[in-house]
Structure 1
């Protein structure tokens, strides 16, 4: 298995247990690298919620499998898991980079008359 390498580019958001960065996969065959989002979860902060994180990974992995095996245009709106790995202190979840706008901003903009 090839170990991928990611360079963090820009902080996108923060949460109670994690930070999300725009990143680039430097091991990509694309000469410019592949731009993705990486959610870095602090294991110490999620101590008793680790099963929820594992469940999130299971769901993302199942969705990736379903979306890859179906030719359904409705599934193109599902965020795709690209990779994940764990270190001694962190859980890292890499997904495709889907928007340059915050989801909250997108929703509230649509509500404007």
Structure 2
């Protein structure tokens, strides 16, 4: 029985570390780069608009839509309940429309795709 106690001593902190690492960096700040998105490990998770980190938004902007957005510098709510604005580290501003059961729709600041 003694070896099992030692195993749980290491297992519980490991599980907590893995659970927290999905949306936060090592110092607790929100991840912002597309390269840090959980979608890089499991693309099957990229089918939702719920609980997206800035890293997940950058991933969709870059990989789903092809925008120059390797990192989301800021996210601000808009007066419209339809969408919010993200600003990429490149300076590009994009509209993000959340959709039930689908990945977000991301357009340019004017609502288009060019």
The answer, yes or no, to whether TM exceeds 0.5 is: no
| Higher normalized strand content (fraction of residues) | 1
RCO greater where, 1 or 2, for CA within 8 Å and sep 6 or more?
1
Q: Which has the larger radius of gyration?
A: 2
